[in-house]
Structure 1
Amino acid sequence: MSASPSALLLCERLDIAGGVERFACELANHLASQGWAVALGSLDTPREAVRYPLDPAVRVLCGPQRPAAAAARSRLGRLWAMARHQWRLGRVLAAQIRSTQADVVLLNGLTTAASVLPRLRRDQAARVVCCDHNHFFARSRFWQWLRARQYPRVAALVSLTQADAPRFARLHPVTRVIANASALQAAQAGVVEAPVVLAVGRHVAQKGFDRLLQAWAQVLPGRPQAELRLIGDGPLLAEHQALARQLGVADSVRFLPPTAAMAHAYRDSAVFVLPSRYEGMPLVLLEAQAMGLPAVAFDCPTGPADVIAPETGVLVPDGDIDGLARALGELLDDPARRQRLGAAAIERSQRLFSPQRHATAWTTLLQAVARRTPVPEVLA
């Protein structure tokens, strides 16, 4: 191995504004800035379609472009389409591993890892690190079975949360916890007088925007100036817009597209809300707290309990829509409390979730695997 190690970071796709995609691009940029030879690979995302900024030194790999297939109508057709997709995903990404001969490979996401690992020889799998970027039980039993068979073959596993670490450790002794971090950071908490609540994410079932809209219908009475801003795109956008109309709250809800100016979105909001059904370690929640926003979230598996402390926000029992509405309303009605929670959120973020700590931990882990040395118990 050369003095400057090489790394290949693999994702299923890189053309959507998601947390995994942003993480991969930011880590690739950091490694490149440290002199690593870095490649970023996906199934079929060319460089010009990558959603997040990339250092020119980062190589981008992808398989051949194919026209989108028509959606299958039958359940059997959907299963067959999924199987074909996963077969192609595994074939393309495994070929990238063989062609780059990188010193260390990071597989991002369970479906990506489970599709690729069966195609790798033992010596190839021995330089792989896997990170699911979701809670341990997010996928079906089929994927969990594949994970149990394949993850013991790799060099190391990364859990985003303390809650999931023991579960991953049962699959592999070299399991380390590396929490996500926020690249955004406010120096001090401001007080936004306008009663604006912000939520960010793709319009998919996981993100729970349907639950948030139901809660919002309870928040709005008595607070006619309150506004809910939902930033994101996705397949359920039209359905959520229709739900807002059905609930009679459409005039108070703004559906906004993804934006690169997230710092402004946080600064213009009074409260952040995360209504997800499940997460890994939600980057948007980390960002909101780092920017001094008090946060309200369902205590879903996993992530919110790792990020929100009693002095920085409110954790609501998962699925308690009345409780979510109550927590949002109480914060909107109490600017002084919002100021206290926001200031504590900044301090906690700087202490536990700084970009420097995050980058150091990942670099230490990947360098140990690349150099075939023991992975330290403490990474940063």
Structure 2
Amino acid sequence: MVFLIVYDRYCSQFRKGKDFFFKFALASLAHCVFALVTEITVNMEWIPKIVNDVCHLMLFFFALLFSIFYFEYALSLVYLRGRIPKNVKAIYYSVAAVVFVATILSPLEYIQGSYTRYSHGVGPFLTFGLAFLFLIVADIVIILNKKWVRESTTKVLVPLSIVSMCLMALQILVPEFFFTAPAMTLIAAAIFFAIENPVGKFKEKAFIDQKAKIWNRNCYEYDVENRVSDRMKKGDSLIYVMGDVNGLKTVNDNLGHADGDLLIKRIASNLQQNLKSAYRVYRVGGDEFVALYFDTPLETVREEVDGAVGCCREIEMGSNIPVGISVGYAEGMTGESIRNVAKRAEKMMYEAKCNYYRESGFDRRKV
């Protein structure tokens, strides 16, 4: 854990935004330290009881703090931009404060077990019970909102946190052994490798289109090679959606490339908001976008595409400059390659583009 903290601090200079791992690691490390300290002091009769009490209270405190951090992280995944409302924070911090005050005020007893002495009382059960509850609710939040959570989070963090909760349950049932220390270490390590690993951050940055703020062509090619083919081999149905922006050249020529970039951003934003059931939406070229759907009814895709096209037509970039997006889509057939599916979607897209320019009356070469 110390090594991961040092490594994380070194890599923090290359990373922007919140560092969730650091506070998890500190709480986990502090809990492990006090678990070791109390294991020593509780068996030394010459150590004053007040010292034992304080060390055990710190052990309980960092266990509760760690579980709060984990619960808070789960909430940040589902709240817009990771901003948890202050009134929500006030609720769970108040509950934790009340429980910990009750733990401080309740008397601690030390019982001789088969191998070592251990603390006993209402306080430990309250603290570890609430920490256990925080972890359970956090996992439920992540699982119920897995569509909006990174795949690495649900596949790595949730299983390890379930194992950790089993260890914490053992801690409550068998207080003689400190199962909570390895439990929290497991979760902290999972957070590092699945979420906060700087290498993963760099990879993600390489997969994001910095102009449109959606997945880029690098990500598209990676997914086609590693994800799409595997899912199609497993029998998952694929619907391939391709879009091409209308009016970008006119905006660039008449309003400037800065406004052209703004049009791209607005189109990308509309696609993300409307193509809700898509696995991912990519910008694969200057004015070209692709969305991939798995196991989604064609009618759902059609409704979402129509909604996206309608929203994009409402974008205003200047008087008498028609903008929007022409979209085509195709449903993959059994055994068909993604390349052929893409060709059929592209054909439909160009038909839509021809219809758009024919109806608008604009020269396709100029817009």
Structure with greater proportional strand content: 1
Q: TM-score, normalised by structure 2?
A: 0.25
Asked which structure has the greater CA Rg, the reply is 2
Structure with greater proportional helix content: 2
Q: TM-score, normalised by structure 1?
A: 0.24
